Amino acid sequence: MEIIVVTGANRGIGFALTRVLLTNGKTVVAICRRPEESSELKQLAVLHPEGLDLIKCDVSREEELVEAAAVTQKRHGKLDVIFNNAGIMPEGGDESILKIDLGLLRLAYETNVLGAVRVIRAFYPMIARSERPRILNVSSGLGSISAKDDYSYYAYSISKAALNMLTRAVAHEFAAHGVTTVAISPGWVRTDMGGEEAQLSPEESALSLAKAIDGIGPDLNGQFLDRHGRIGEYSW
């Protein structure tokens, strides 16, 4: 049975994916800042007492991730997949570079990039023991440099472009150890971040992502994938 860490698991894509993975018989280590505020996550824990391991943790705090990894090690001993989903879009989206609060750029980078780095560092010793280790960093088309044709969402876009570079670098470093690392976009999803006009429900995105997690292998290492685990829709 595969063991999967999902960050940002209390809402949106993270919660929907957690539910799908549990239904598919996976064990999920669900990490989020405020699990006590998610009645849906608590209900999942009741329905899947053996499959869901709920851990309160903020990815911006290294000491909390170290503790979360220690707890996971004690309870499970190993890990197969890291799904780096925790992320924020702190700005309105229409700000000029001349006026945007630089604190928003720092905040986005702290969570969307350094948060992913902290998660990888904390859980790598466990994932390295898996027979089929995979790291999926949740990116976005807004992080594509070559496709950028406007100036919207400076903080979020810059952070996701940086996450893409992190993905490529980690993919090269860990390839010799058999770890597959990819960037993956969940699509435009109707969440607090994606808005009501988005094309996909969290459930639709999660179903595709769950299949992609199962199918991703070394041949896709270092690639930027769509929610189905395919190359071609997104460019760096």
187: left (phi > 0), else alpha (psi -120 to 50), else beta?
left
* Contact between residue 35 and residue 41 where contact means Cβ atoms under 8 Å apart: yes
* Residue 14 CB partners (closer than 8 Å, separation 6+): 6, 7, 8, 30, 32, 83, 85, 86
State residue 28 phi and psi, 5-degree precision.
Answer: -115, 125
* Contact between residue 9 and residue 84 where contact means Cβ atoms under 8 Å apart: no
By DSSP bridging, strand 224-225 and strand 27-32 are unpaired
Q: Kindly report each contact of residues 169-176 with a partner whose C-beta sits within 8 Å and lies 24 or more positions away, as own/partner.
A: 170/120, 170/135, 171/221, 171/222, 172/222, 174/135, 175/218, 175/221, 175/222
Please, how many CA atoms are within 13 Å of residue 123, restricted to the half-sphere of its CB? 33
Indicate the DSSP class of residue 56. E
Active-site residue 156, yes or no? yes
Kindly state the tokens that stand for 175.
């390839």
Catalytic residues: 156
